[in-house]
């Protein structure tokens, strides 16, 4: 559908002459439209199969088409690829998340707008020339060694480059963004938040996947995306928006993991140990765990490529093709949740054969969480042999405080044949609890 004519100001349209010196009779001047009153930002949404939809990973894309005299985006477009849309209930949340991701790009979360950001007083963060433009380069080499043909460079008070983990990284170093990452990782020396290093061009338009995997504005759709205070910090630092921080979601990924998590390689190339065992893994066959936010049982996203991984992302000596499936995450093997392990989906409960035997004593519900377990129902032993290697499960949990203000977690375990439940209190991380009617134990990991 074309944009309504009323949305346009007057403009001169020349279809027979492309020079500024066109004669009047070669051009048409359109009348000015009425515009859209009381509107700060106008978004046009369409569903059309375009050339950009040919990529198997593209469900939608967005762009910003216009900005005002202070560089704030005023007009954007989001296109959804019709063949990628799915009307099933299970796909709804993911598609809403994709829509939010693209809308956030249209609002200005893009490398194109990093050089245009403003300070709180309205002055440009990146100095301008006499025409009001930031520095523009038409040829050269970017800090990340990519050749450029056109590049608008942000100031070093907006973007700083450094070499970390054997490759060049760019960091957004504006005040609120810097404050967020220092608090989030519990690392007071961080200069800013890394921008994705494997986006195309000189500078990426996403947060670094390796450090912020579930964040809404990383390049890869996560199992459980989070609209965190990091992205809100960018908008607050842009100079164009006031943000409501209370609307952000908690990002558990990387929380309080320290400076080493934020700056060093995910797998130590000498010891082969993950820098954080609940985030990264080294075996896809015997790994059983939980997603970092405990909303799902998890797997290890590790495989062997058809060709060697770039040297700076090789973590397994003697096997240059072994690495994580998510290339944007610096090929780090991530601990990832998935739909089959989603603790909120009741259909994921395993019952033996045509019985009601709950083999692992699990519960799947909107508030249920994942934890480590070796529980096996005694009921199942009467008729079945449970050989599953499962080492994690989903359970009903609630947090309480006692009279001494000490916190504890109450777990409720259903028992099949007796048709009742057992309630247990866990008072400390890593405590192993035995459950009557089950062999093994359950361990609280969060």
- What is the Cα–Cα distance from 27 to 137, expressed in whole angstroms? 33
Q: Find out whether 252 is annotated in a ligand binding site.
A: no
For 221, the token pair is 């759709």
Query: DSSP secondary-structure letter at 280?
Result: B
Residue 423 exposure: Cα atoms within 13 Å on the Cβ side? 6
Torsional sign, CA 48, 54, 60, 65: negative
All residues at 6 or more sequence positions from 440 whose CB lies less than 8 Å from its CB, including other chains: 373, 374, 375, 376
CA 266 to chain centroid, in Å, comes to 17
437: left (phi over 0), alpha (psi -120 to 50) or beta: left
**Is 102 among the catalytic positions?**
yes
Q: Which of 5, 3, 22 is nearest to 14 (CA)?
A: 22
| Residues composing the chain | 446
Q: Which of 215, 218, 180 is nearest to 198 (CA)?
A: 218
Q: Which of 102, 196, 208, 215 is the catalytic position? A: 102
Q: What are phi and psi of 54, to 5 degrees?
A: -70, -25
Q: Find out whether 206 is annotated in a ligand binding site.
A: yes
Q: Find out whether 67 is annotated in a ligand binding site.
A: no
All residues at 6 or more sequence positions from 276 whose CB lies less than 8 Å from its CB, including other chains: 257, 261, 266
CA dihedral of 344, 346, 352, 356, whole degrees rounded to 10: 130
Binding-site annotation: residue ranges: 101, 105, 206
Binding-site annotation: residue ranges for Zn(2+): 101, 105, 206
Q: Which residues does the annotation mark as catalytic?
A: 102
């Amino acid at each position: 559908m074309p944009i309504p004519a009323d949305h346009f100001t007057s403009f001169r349209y020349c279809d027979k002459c492309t020079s500024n010196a066109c004669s009047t009779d070669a051009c048409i001047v359109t009348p000015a439209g009425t515009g859209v009153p009381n509107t700060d930002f106008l978004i046009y949404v369409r569903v059309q199969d375009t050339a950009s939809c040919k990529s198997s990973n593209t469900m939608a894309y967005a762009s910003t088409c216009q900005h005002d005299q202070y560089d704030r985006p005023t007009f954007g477009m989001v296109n959804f690829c019709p063949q990628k849309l799915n009307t099933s209930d299970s796909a709804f949340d993911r598609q809403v998340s994709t829509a939010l991701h693209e809308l956030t790009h249209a609002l200005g979360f893009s490398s194109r707008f990093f050089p245009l950001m403003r300070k709180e007083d309205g002055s440009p963060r990146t100095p301008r020339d006499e025409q009001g433009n930031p520095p523009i380069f038409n040829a050269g080499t970017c800090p990340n060694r990519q050749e450029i043909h056109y590049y608008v460079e942000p100031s070093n008070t907006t973007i700083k480059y450094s070499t970390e983990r054997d490759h060049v990284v760019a960091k957004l170093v504006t005040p609120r963004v810097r404050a967020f990452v220092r608090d989030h990782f519990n690392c007071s020396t961080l200069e800013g938040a890394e921008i994705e290093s494997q986006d195309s061009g000189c500078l990426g338009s996403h947060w670094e996947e390796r450090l912020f995997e579930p964040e809404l504005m990383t390049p890869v759709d996560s199992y459980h995306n989070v609209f965190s205070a990091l992205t809100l910090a960018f908008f607050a630092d842009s100079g164009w928006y006031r943000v409501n921080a209370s609307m952000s979601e908690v990002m558990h990924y990387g929380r309080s993991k320290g400076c080493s998590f934020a700056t060093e390689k995910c797998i130590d190339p000498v010891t082969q140990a993950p820098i954080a065992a609940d985030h990264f893994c080294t075996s896809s066959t015997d790994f059983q765990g939980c997603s970092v936010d405990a909303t799902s049982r998890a797997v290890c996203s590790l495989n062997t490529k058809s060709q060697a991984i770039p040297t700076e992302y090789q973590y397994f000596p003697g096997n240059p093709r072994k690495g994580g499936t998510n290339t944007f995450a610096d090929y780090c093997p991530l601990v990832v949740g998935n739909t089959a392990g989603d603790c909120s989906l009741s259909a994921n409960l395993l019952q033996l054969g045509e019985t009601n035997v709950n083999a692992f004593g699990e519960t799947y519900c909107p508030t249920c969480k994942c934890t480590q377990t070796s529980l096996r129902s005694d009921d199942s032993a009467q008729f079945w042999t449970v050989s599953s290697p499962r080492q994690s499960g989903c359970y009903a949990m609630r947090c309480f405080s006692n009279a001494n203000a000490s916190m504890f977690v109450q777990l409720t375990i259903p028992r099949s044949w007796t048709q009742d439940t057992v309630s247990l209190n866990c008072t400390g991380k890593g405590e192993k609890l035995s459950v009557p009617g089950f062999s093994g134990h359950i361990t609280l990991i969060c």
